[in-house]
């Protein structure tokens, strides 16, 4: 058991250090590790991942605390959409129990082409001026956040892995997207974890998180998130966009391979 906790801390640290600079908590990358390496059962893996986000989130957010994106309209729109979405996703997860294949297929179909497109656009940029955040349709942004919130509630991911590539693909600078996406991820995860705690009272399924593993992974993520956020200002926008595109494409390819098996 001790080696599992040590491995969980190391996994959370490594993943969060790499993903925090682009606004991804790392929970979506931790999910296959929990399934394949640590053997966390369904549906307990979902609240365990949300617990990781709750513990890990303050690390990067503390480092980003002076960033205006955390307090701007972008963050408010993301939170406004993801909060009701994660509650709805949790209800569906507990009572309908969709299988993991649906999630894997959805992630593969969305992130693989999106990541490749973001990489290509970064390596061979067009002459079009990037869109400032004020030009994003507010209703579209809130609707997108709502859909991401549902997915987060279903499968225990924060949503930054989905929101980041989409918003960056629209032309928003990663340095602005990252703090907003991480703030929405943290808020959503707190509400999602609370929703699962309440739903566990009305369900006979094992929906309680693996507390020890979730806390171990989250502690690693807390440290890694701070380190990753501290690293971000030293990385050029082009490198950040490439990192986000590569992470998205790699994750999409990983889940596509798992779906085919």
pLDDT-above-70 percentage for the chain = 88
138-155 helix and 100-123 helix, angle to the nearest 10 degrees: 130
Whether the Cβ atoms of residue 195 and residue 90 lie closer than 8 Å to each other: yes
Number of structural domains (the chain) is 1
153 versus 232: the higher-pLDDT residue is: 232
pLDDT tens digit string along 109-134? 878 888 898 888 888 765 545 555 44
pLDDT of residue 134: 43
pLDDT at 38 (0 to 100): 87
| Confidence (pTM) | 0.81
Least confident of 79-83, 124-128, 143-147: 124-128
- Inform me whether the pLDDT recorded for 222 exceeds 60: yes
Place of tokens 């020890």: 212
- Asked whether residue 92 carries a pLDDT value surpassing 60, the answer given is yes
Range of the domain at 28: 2-260
Instruction: Give pLDDT tens digits for 19-44.
Output: 999 888 888 888 878 877 888 877 77
**Which tokens hold the place of 36?**
């394949």
Per-residue model confidence (pLDDT) at position 213:
93
Q: How far apart are CA 210 and CA 41, in angstroms?
A: 9
Rounded mean pLDDT of 169-191?
86
Q: What is the pLDDT of residue 9?
A: 95
Would you state the pLDDT for residue 162?
A: 82
Q: Output the pLDDT for position 3.
A: 86
Answer for the pair 156, 94: CB distance below 8 angstroms, yes or no.
Answer: no
Q: What is the predicted pLDDT for the residue at 8?
A: 93
Q: Does residue 221 or residue 201 have the better pLDDT?
A: 221
Q: Cβ of 135: how many Cβ atoms within 10 Å?
A: 10
Supply the mean pLDDT for the chain.
82
Best CA proximity match to 239, nearest among 173, 184, 180, 181: 173
More confident residue, 35 or 97: 35
Scanning the structure block, which residue is given the tokens 């994750």? 251
Q: Which pLDDT band, with edges at 50, 70 and 90, does 100 fall under?
A: low
The most confident of the ranges 21-25, 214-218, 252-256 is 214-218
Interatomic CA distance for residues 156 and 54, integer angstroms: 11
pLDDT of residue 223: 96
Give the per-residue pLDDT at 6: 94
Whether 208 shows a pLDDT value over 90: the answer reads no
Q: Can you give the pLDDT at residue 202?
A: 73
């Amino acid at each position: 058991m001790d080696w599992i906790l040590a491995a969980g801390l190391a996994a959370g640290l490594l993943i969060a250090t790499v993903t925090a600079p682009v606004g991804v908590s790392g929970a979506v990358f931790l999910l296959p590790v929990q399934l394949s390496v640590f053997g966390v059962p369904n549906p307990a893996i979902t609240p365990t991942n949300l617990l990781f986000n709750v513990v890990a989130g303050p690390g990067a957010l503390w480092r980003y605390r002076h960033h205006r994106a955390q307090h701007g309209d972008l963050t408010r729109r993301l939170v406004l959409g993801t909060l009701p979405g994660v509650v709805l996703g949790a209800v569906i997860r507990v009572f309908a129990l969709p299988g993991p294949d649906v999630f894997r297929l959805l992630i593969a179909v969305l992130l693989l082409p999106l990541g490749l497109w973001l990489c290509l656009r970064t390596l061979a940029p067009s002459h079009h001026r990037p869109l400032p955040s004020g030009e994003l349709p507010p209703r579209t942004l809130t609707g997108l956040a709502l859909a991401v919130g549902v997915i987060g509630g279903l499968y225990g991911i924060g949503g930054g892995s989905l929101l980041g590539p989409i918003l960056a693909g629209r032309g928003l600078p990663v340095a602005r997207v990252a703090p907003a996406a991480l703030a929405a991820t943290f808020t959503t995860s707190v509400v999602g974890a609370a929703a699962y705690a309440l739903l566990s009272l009305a369900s006979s399924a094992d929906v309680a998180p693996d507390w020890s593993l979730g806390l171990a992974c989250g502690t690693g993520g807390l440290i890694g998130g701070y380190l990753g956020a501290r690293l971000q200002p030293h990385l050029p926008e082009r490198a950040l966009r490439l990192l986000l595109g590569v992470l998205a494409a790699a994750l999409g390819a990983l889940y596509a391979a798992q779906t085919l098996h």
